[in-house]
Structure 1
Amino acid sequence: MKYRSVFDIIGPVMIGPSSSHTAGAARIGLVARQLFQKAPTWVSFHLYGSFAKTYRGHGTDVALVGGILGFDTFDNRITESIEIAKNSGLTVSFHEEEAHMDHPNTVKIHLGDDSHEMELVGISIGGGKVEIKELNGFELRLSGNHPAILVVHDDRFGAIASVSTILAKNEINIGHMEVSRKEVGKEALMVIEIDQNIGGNIMKQVEALDHVTKVTKIHE
């Protein structure tokens, strides 16, 4: 296995006892917050495997809530995140699930407000690294460790090429890309991990494409 830096070996700068159960959980929560694009008013965490068995003792609960509040893995406020959430009006619930999942450190996050909801499934794979496996029913593989854009679009000829062309014209290099769809010819989701964060101008160019319905970005 190749590592990009020493931090891939020793783990991230973090608050808490475990890179998998604390830092990874915080990062999953933070990706969920970035994808939701604003502060939710309620969130429910459905915990599977070892997450369900040890989430209180390993700080997974405060880490997940901290991520939803927008706190990074090293933010000292994570330890008080549940109290901060309560004071801010965010309703939080935890659910220990018995279903068997492919990975032991799995969480399903369901969050929302009065206008819309979002559901995300993430796993913590060790060393603070995570993968987002599902978003609103779309299967995907998103690391959360690199800048990325998620494009909801019509499943039709030329959709992928048009987005790729905009990124190429703006000298944005694609590190990983995949497309998921629920049904042929209906709604699809394009997930593109890139080498650097992109500005609002490029986002607007992608949003202006007639087959695109929504563009969201996440960043390291």
Structure 2
Amino acid sequence: MKYKSVFDIIGPVMIGPSSSHTAGAARIGRVARSLFGRQPKWAAISFYGSFAKTYKGHGTDVALVGGLLDFDTSDERITRAIDIAKEAGMKIKFIEEEAITDHPNTVRVKIGDDEDEMELVGISIGGGKIEIIELNGFELKLSGHHPAILVVHNDRHGAIAAVSNVLAHEEINIGHMEVSRKEKGKMALMTIEVDQNIDANVIKKLEELPNVLQVTKIVE
């Protein structure tokens, strides 16, 4: 495995005690916040495996809520995140699951408000690194460490090519891309990690494409 920097080995600058249980959890929460687009009014957080057994002692609960509040891993407010969230009116529920998952550090995050709700599954793979492996029932692989766009679209011929052509025309390089669908011919999800941030003009062009239903940007 290749490392880009020493921080890939020793972990990120963070509020402790654990890069996988604390920093990773904060990043999962922050990606959820970014995907939802605003601070949720409620959160139901289900911990699995090692997370379920140690989340209180390792601060996984406060870190994840800190992420939902858009706190970075080094933000000292993380230690008070649950209290801050409750003061802001956010209702929080923690669930210790007994089901066995493929990865020991797995969490399912359900968040919402009066208008919408969202559900994702994330894993903390060590050193503060994460992967989002499910979003609203779609399977995906999203690291949260690179700028990315998620494109919900009708599963039709040419939809993927049209999105790729827009990015190529704007000279945006794709680092990783996956497509997931629940059923042939229905809705599908493109997960595209890119090498640079995408501006609002590009997002607008993507949203105007035939068969594209929704475009969500995640900033690194």
Is residue 213 from structure 1 mapped to residue 216 from structure 2 by the alignment? no
Which stretches in structure 1 are left out of the alignment for 5+ residues?
none
Unaligned 5+ segments in structure 2 are none
The C-alpha deviation readout for 1:144-170, integer Å capped at 9, x for no partner, is 111100000000111111101111111
**Counterpart code for 1:30:** R
Report the Cα offset of residue 38 of structure 1: 1.0
1:138 aligns with 2:105: no
**Deviation readout 1:83-140 (Å, 9 max, x if unpaired):** 1001100111100000000000000000101111100000000000000010000001
SS of 2:93's partner is strand
1:44 is matched with which residue?
44
SS in 2 for 1:106: strand
In 1, the alpha carbon distance for the partners of 2:22 and 2:79 equals: 10
CA–CA separation in structure 1 for the residues paired with 2:155 and 2:198 = 24
CA RMSD of aligned residues (A): 0.6
> Which residue of the partner structure matches residue 78 of structure 1?
78
- The separation in 2 between residues aligned to 1:46 and 1:71, in whole angstroms, is 20
Aligned to 1:100: 100
Q: Give the TM-score, by structure 2 length.
A: 0.99
The secondary structure found in structure 1 opposite 2:33 is helix
Paired position in structure 1 for 2:69: 69
Identity in percent: 72
Following the alignment from structure 1 to structure 2, what is the Cα–Cα distance between the partners of residues 48 and 10? 25
Give the deviation of 1:217 after TM superposition. 1.0
Counterpart for residue 117 of structure 1: 117
How far off is 1:4 after superposition?
1.2
Tell me by how many angstroms 1:210 deviates.
2.0
Matches within 5 A, 1:1-220: 1-220=1-220
Cα distance in 1 for residues equivalent to 2:77 and 2:170: 37
The amino acid that maps onto 2:171 is E
The answer (yes or no) to whether the contact 2:151–2:215 under 8 Å persists in 1 is: yes
Matched position secondary structure for 2:78: helix
Q: CA deviation at 1:72?
A: 1.1
Moved over 4 A (4+): none
Q: TM-score, normalised by structure 1?
A: 0.99
| 1-structure distance, mates of 2:72, 2:218 | 13
Give the secondary structure class of the aligned counterpart of 1:29: helix
Aligned-partner Cα distance in 2 for 1:218–1:154 = 21
Q: Which amino acid aligns with 1:206?
A: L
* Secondary structure of residue in 1 paired with 2:180: strand
Q: What is the DSSP-based 3-state SS (H/G/I as helix, E as strand, rest coil) of the residue aligned with 2:190?
A: strand
Letter in 1 for 2:135: L
Check conservation: 2:28, 2:132, Cα contact below 8 A: yes
